[in-house]
Structure 1
């Protein structure tokens, strides 16, 4: 089954993560589908705007549980994804699934309902604008599993919310509502129907000069040193996956018991 569905009408691409039965969780097929969808839209003729959402009640609940089980032995499900070589700063599969939306030359609007957790939140951070329900649940959840955000989140979060808030969210893994996310700068605005609001905004953008819109996105996204930051993310996550404390975090979570971590020497 294709994990991502794309419908294009009058220059607006309606892109939906299509794994509702698993809360649109990220598995190898979803990672591949996100990258392929973004790559397709980078060169789609006549494209004016993109709406990115999840089928069903959730945007994306993060990594599939199978990924955490694989990590006990040092495995990464994203490593099993067969993709053509990357030509941008994002090299790892997860990074590409999030960063590709910043490379789409037209505005990308994420419509967030339900859960946007961990990797799911990082996918949303690849969008230019995030519209959320007031009761949506967003979290930099990786710390729960003894990990760090490794899908560009460590580089993007401080730009949106400031370094101190980025650290608080990353160190704690606490869940924030959509309303709080807006107050923090993690989301753009609240709507009772984010998908409808995103489509309305996308159609409004589509009515503007496409040259001016694309130029504005290029200027507002003038490059930062992503290559260094992304490479550092991968070095850190490689060291963490399968390490004793990371395995303990997963084991304790599945065992529904408090973790027993060992402090660094």
Structure 2
């Protein structure tokens, strides 16, 4: 059975982790499959992505059975090569979703630990079930988080929160995660809520949504104020008067949903 499946319907890509017997734990093959799924969508005619996991958990972390193989190998050869731009394979598991030009929504339930937690951080938005548990789990195994989390966490929460979660490896509830900025919102059925949100996003101007995601990334990159302001102006200049913006105006005036040419 494949470790990851991707289905596209109504301009929304549904990416599911499909290893429920292992609580979707990540081994090297699954890491490859997650990254391949992200890369396959970069040129797709989509407007949003939903990440979810089959079974009892979104993703319970790294596959423990893989640890022995890691220990027996050359660790440097495994994690040091930059195989995906400035990242290695395991870091790209999370970062590939930030690199997509469209919004990504993670629907979280059950255990969201370690590798699963960092995968979720790669999404633009995280919707969690009230009983979901999240953890930076690596310290439990005498390791540090090394799957892109440290590049993403400082944009979401405070330093003391990152340190507490990293040092203790203690799971936190979804409500606490939301209070700390790690979860966007709670929903009894996170996949249903993620789907509704993705449908709402898919109804907006595709070019404006893509420009907004790129602009937010620039703003979060630490770029100089002048560069961020110029990026705002450049993005806006590329949208004003364009066919999609004109269709939005026409649709608003007519009280109807906009219809965008590509893929409609």
Instruction: Give the structure-1-normalised TM-score.
Output: 0.79
> Given that residues 158 and 165 in structure 1 are in contact (C-alpha distance below 8 angstroms), is that contact kept between their aligned partners in structure 2?
no
1:75 positional shift:
5.1
Where 2:7 maps in the other structure, the secondary structure is: strand
CA distance in 1, matches of 2:151, 2:203: 32
Q: Which residue number in structure 1 is paired with residue 122 of structure 2?
A: 126
* Largest Rg, 1 or 2: 2
Q: Which residue number in structure 2 is paired with residue 139 of structure 1?
A: 135
CA distance in 2, matches of 1:220, 1:152: 18
> Given that residues 133 and 179 in structure 1 are in contact (C-alpha distance below 8 angstroms), is that contact kept between their aligned partners in structure 2?
no
Instruction: Give the structure-2-normalised TM-score.
Output: 0.79
Number of residue-to-residue matches in the alignment: 220
Determine if the alignment matches structure 1 residue 181 to structure 2 residue 177.
Answer: yes
Q: Which moved more, 1:149-158 or 1:191-200?
A: 149-158
Larger RCO (CA within 8 A; separation ≥ 6): 1
CA distance in 2, matches of 1:13, 1:73: 38
Pairwise CA RMSD of aligned residues?
A: 2.1
Change over 3 Å in CA distance of 1:74–1:168 after alignment to 2 = farther
1:74 positional shift:
4.9
> Could you list the per-position Cα deviations for residues 215-256 of structure 1 after superposition, in whole angstroms to 9, with x for gaps in the alignment?
11001111637xxxxxxxxxxxxxxxxxxxxxxxxxxxxxxx
Counting only pairs closer than 5 Å after superposition, residues 186-197 of structure 1 correspond to structure 2 as: 186-197=182-193
Q: Which residue number in structure 2 is paired with residue 114 of structure 1?
A: 110
Structure 1 unaligned residues grouped into runs of 5+? 226-265
Where 1:192 maps in the other structure, the secondary structure is: coil
Change over 3 Å in CA distance of 1:101–1:154 after alignment to 2 = same
> Could you list the per-position Cα deviations for residues 80-127 of structure 1 after superposition, in whole angstroms to 9, with x for gaps in the alignment?
9xxx952x32x2110111100001100000000000100110000000
Q: Which residue number in structure 2 is paired with residue 29 of structure 1?
A: 29
Structure 2 unaligned residues grouped into runs of 5+? 223-264
CA distance in 2, matches of 1:2, 1:36: 12
CA distance in 1, matches of 2:83, 2:66: 23
